[in-house]
Chain A
């Protein structure tokens, strides 16, 4: 794998194929936890962490267990099962050995358990035909992309909060409109990386 391929996978996961703003996965935490910057950051770091570990476990299961025995259609069920158990395991592990990290990530871990962004990354890694290393890079990039989207949107929301706007738009309405405009902005990146890397 050349260096440009590495950059291409990571950057496209962060920018052009942003899981939240371009693929519309993981909208629930995107709208739910983006009200405050610090909780948005905590959630995003937890998502990066779980995405990478989930891919590290699900990719071998798909390749060496499901595909080998012609059970590719079991993907969704097995992945949900494995990811849920994995997140539980991580939580127990963190609580015991790294309490400080558990204190900052702990409350977000159960929220992530069956988050569609996590499952989406794992499934799309397989669908795109990525190898193990490529999958890991893509997962990491997707996580960072999630962080970027959360970070930007938390900023947008804090700006909205301090403005005076019509009562009808208060709350969810303004949030959804802001989300769609942020998403439109990311549409501007499409095709950029293909031209830079010549792929």
Chain B
């Protein structure tokens, strides 16, 4: 009888002591959880994309809950709904989120450029760039192995025919692709801007013309066409000053290479009225 009572008693006693100590510890060493922070974190989308400028959603929630001068409209993927929810939690006025989209500054499809080498290495842009600046003849354009595609948490950017293409509907403007692209040819621009220059080549016009039939040759016709002083040729390609551009599209009309492109006007989203 005694043979098993003592060991069981010992085990139970040790378990009880451990339980007592743990519950005491949980009571006296409890760290108060910041409720505001938890509530804000629950509202954030949890993509941890870093578009807000903090290291992930947790960090942004902590910064917001701590107060100070942190804006409530920094979450780009969450857009207005999340900004409004956060503002409500913090008791502030909601501010609109300026919706952003990614934009690829290259038009080097497979049929307008040619490869310079038969690249057989790792199929990533970062690795390919390490070998003489990439397999394509233009060293400034899209390499097309889809590092951006793999980085995108929303499936909004895809490489087709050797060029990364952004699906503006799906893109939330988090900037993961822009940070991943080894060529730095992806910009994050406000969704309302529709005119963009689809070339980043810093080669002289004549050289660009030889390497890519769709590239910007730096002729400055766009500069002359623009009435708002928004387009300038810098580094041998046209650059649009986003703040000055009025979406008029005169530069796109003037461009002889059709490298300044315009997105069609976004159709007004149908408004659904409830009740």
Q: Do A and B bind each other?
A: yes
A positions within 8 Å CB-CB of B? 61, 65, 69, 71, 73-74, 77-78, 81-82, 85, 88-89, 92-93, 95-97, 99, 162, 164
- Residue contacts A-B, CB under 8 angstroms, 8 given: A61-B14, A65-B10, A69-B6, A73-B7, A74-B10, A74-B11, A89-B21, A93-B29
Closest to B27 in A: A92
Contacts of B192 in A (CB 8 A): none
Please tell me the size bucket of the interface on B: 10 to 19
Shortest CB distance A105–B (Å): 15
Tell whether B26 is near chain A: CB-to-CB under 8 Å.
yes
Question: Which single residue of chain B is at the shortest CB-CB distance from A65?
Answer: B10
B6 in contact with A81 (CB, 8 Å): no
Residues of B within 8 A of A71 (CB): 6-7, 10
Q: Does B31 sit at the interface, judged by CB under 8 A?
A: yes
Number of A-B contacts (CB under 8 A): 45
Q: Are A85 and B122 in contact (CB under 8 A)?
A: no
In the complex, the chain B residue whose C-beta lies closest to that of A86 is: B18
Closest 10 CB pairs of A and B: A85-B18, A96-B29, A92-B25, A71-B7, A74-B7, A92-B29, A95-B31, A96-B31, A88-B22, A81-B15
A85 to B15, CA, bound (A): 9
Smallest beta-carbon distance B116→chain A, Å: 22
Which residues of B3-29 have CB atoms within 8 Å of chain A's CB atoms?
6-7, 10-11, 14-15, 18-19, 21-22, 25-26, 29
Point out the residues of chain B lying under 8 angstroms from A96, CB to CB.
29-31
A133 to B17, CA, bound (A): 26
Bound Cα distance from A69 to B31, whole angstroms: 40
Find B10's partner among A69, A85, A92, A162 (CB 8 Å cutoff): A69
CB-based nearest A residue for B8 = A74
B10 and A81 within 8 A (CB):
no
Q: How far is the CA of A122 from the CA of B253 in the complex (A)?
A: 78
A sample of 10 more A-B contacts (CB under 8 A), given A74-B11, A85-B18, is A71-B7, A73-B7, A74-B10, A77-B11, A85-B22, A88-B22, A92-B22, A92-B25, A93-B29, A96-B29
Report the minimum CB–CB distance from A98 to chain B (whole Å): 12
Q: Which residue of A lies closest to B120 (CB)?
A: A164
- Chain A contacts of B26 at CB under 8 A? 92
